[in-house]
A and B are shown apart, each in its own frame.
Chain A
Amino acid sequence: MIKKILVITLIGLSLAFFLAGQKASGQEPRGQMQQGNLRRNLVTLRALRMTQVLELTEQQTAVIFPELNRAEKEKAELQRQLALEIRNLRQKIDSGKSTDEEFEAGVQKIRELRHNIQAREQAFEDFLFSRLTPVQKARYIIFSLEFNRVLMERAQRLRQAGQKIK
């Protein structure tokens, strides 16, 4: 039953990302599309590992994964917008033609998006923690830290290797 919930949730998640990617494909550069794939895969991998580490029961899986799915869809959209705003801000700085008002608007938009992402993430974590045992909460914190650390370190190494080759 746990497997069934997992498969349905994760396939649903993939599909939602896939449709969002199709919708945005006409507007966004190839890099953004690739990051859509990357995010979806990261979220899927994180969900799979989390299931193992937390040793979720069937009841927990049944309530946590649909909420995870909802939270991820919302955050993915916010992250996509944030990436676009950051790109715009870079372009504004590089061009040197933007006004203070335009900069201010860009900065405000980015801050707002970032706040919304953090708020959504916090809301999911609150929901999650209301369903986990104390040991599972402790495991979740350490799991998050290690998972994110590995992501960052691997990305840094890739970047360094890429720079050396160039």
Chain B
Amino acid sequence: MKCADYQKLISDRMDGTLSPAGQKKLEAHLKTCQACHFYEEELKGIEAEIRKLPAVEPENLAVLEGELRGRLIRAEAESRIHKHKSWGMKLAPAWAAGVFLVIAVLYLLVFNRPAERDQGLDLASLMSFEDSYLTLTQTLNSDESLNEIYNEEILNNIFEEAKYLNLEDLVNTEDYQEQIINNNSDINLLIENNGLSEGL
């Protein structure tokens, strides 16, 4: 046995729980080990000092217990709040990413569904430029002003495309230039007469 084991036996003897066999072993050891002897003396001294303290009344004990419980509850609550705050802060980027993902998924599901986007459209007609053109002309036919505005838009698109493809030669032809001049004067007149540009 080591000294640490004998020191445990010393504690047991002071508590009155040491067996007679343990007593014999301990006494034999204390005769030869000065360190364990001093340890026992020190423990006995502490116990003597404690016994000198005045006894605590049961009422005071209840007050003390209540106060201790209160302090424990407050400490626990503070600890919980602190824990929540730190988790919240730690999870903030994850929450943000989650919210972004949900919004992105909703957008894809609700606003950008190709299958649904094509519903209600006559796809066979849309496949044909001529069918689409016929519908387009019938849509615009009765209104010259709409025709002018639409043509102006198409012209602008042509100029943009030609610029992108470095095909300036195409739009510099006399015919296009004449169209631009005519269209511009027509469009100005339309805007003056109808204020059409406001709604477009």
Please report A residues at the B interface, Cβ cutoff 8 Å.
Answer: 3, 6-7, 10-11, 14-15, 18, 30-31, 34-35, 37-39, 41-42, 44-46, 48-49, 51-52, 75, 79, 82-83, 86, 114, 117-118, 121, 141, 144-145, 147-149, 151-152, 154-159, 161-162, 164-166
A45 with B140: CB separation less than 8 A:
no
Given A7-B170, A34-B151, also A155-B140 (CB < 8 A): yes
Given A41-B154, A162-B146, also A48-B196 (CB < 8 A): no
A45 with B157: CB separation less than 8 A:
yes
The chain B residue with its CB closest to the CB of A78 is: B130
**From A44, A45, A75, A161, contact of B200 by CB (8 A):** A161
The chain A residue with its CB closest to the CB of B136 is: A155
B129 with A121: CB separation less than 8 A:
yes
- Using a CB-CB cutoff of 8 Å, which residues 113-146 of chain B contact chain A? 121, 123, 126-141, 143-146
B147 with A38: CB separation less than 8 A:
yes
The chain A residue with its CB closest to the CB of B139 is: A155
Judged by DSSP, the binding face of B is helix
Q: Return chain B residues, CB-CB under 8 Å to A164.
A: 199
Interface size on B, residues (CB 8 A): 50
B121 with A149: CB separation less than 8 A:
yes
**From A45, A79, A154, A165, contact of B133 by CB (8 A):** A79
Interface membership of B28, Cβ < 8 A = no
A/B interface sample: 18 pairs, CB < 8 A: A3-B166, A6-B167, A7-B167, A11-B169, A31-B147, A35-B140, A38-B140, A41-B179, A42-B133, A45-B161, A48-B161, A49-B161, A79-B133, A114-B134, A155-B146, A162-B143, A162-B196, A165-B195
| Closest-CB distance, A10 to chain B (whole angstroms) | 6
A38 with B151: CB separation less than 8 A:
yes
Q: Return chain A residues, CB-CB under 8 Å to B199.
A: 161-162, 164-165
B126 with A152: CB separation less than 8 A:
yes
Report the bound CA distance from A63 to B63 in whole Å: 104
Report the bound CA distance from A38 to B137 in whole Å: 9
- Using a CB-CB cutoff of 8 Å, which residues 37-55 of chain B contact chain A? none
Interface membership of B155, Cβ < 8 A = yes
Q: Return chain B residues, CB-CB under 8 Å to A161.
A: 196, 199-200
- Using a CB-CB cutoff of 8 Å, which residues 55-108 of chain B contact chain A? none
Q: Return chain B residues, CB-CB under 8 Å to A49.
A: 161
Given A45-B157, A144-B127, A154-B150, also A18-B175 (CB < 8 A): yes
